Amino acid sequence: MLVRKEQELSDIQAEVFDILVSYDVEEKNRRKQHASKRLLEARRAIERRQEEKELSPFLDNESWFDDEE
């Protein structure tokens, strides 16, 4: 739906146009939020993996049950 600057819109046409534009804006915002959420989840997974890697030498399960004598 192309709108020319010199074209007069009826009230209904203007309302439909506004609805379409606001729908597009809302859809873009939803996509951005979804992308941000995925990025945050990926970042958290990377951080968790790095923490596990750093702590793994200290969390050797077999050595926890050895008697310290």
What digits encode the pLDDT tens for the residues 15-55? 898 999 999 999 999 999 999 999 999 999 999 999 999 98
- pLDDT for residue 14: 86
User: Cα–chain-centroid distance for residue 57?
Assistant: 33
**What is the pTM (predicted TM-score) of this model?**
0.56
- Higher per-residue pLDDT: 3 or 33: 33
pLDDT at 57: 81
What pLDDT does 6 receive?
62
Q: Is the pLDDT of residue 68 over 60?
A: no
Distance between the two ends of the chain, CA-based, in angstroms? Answer: 83
Q: Where are the domains of the chain?
A: 29-54
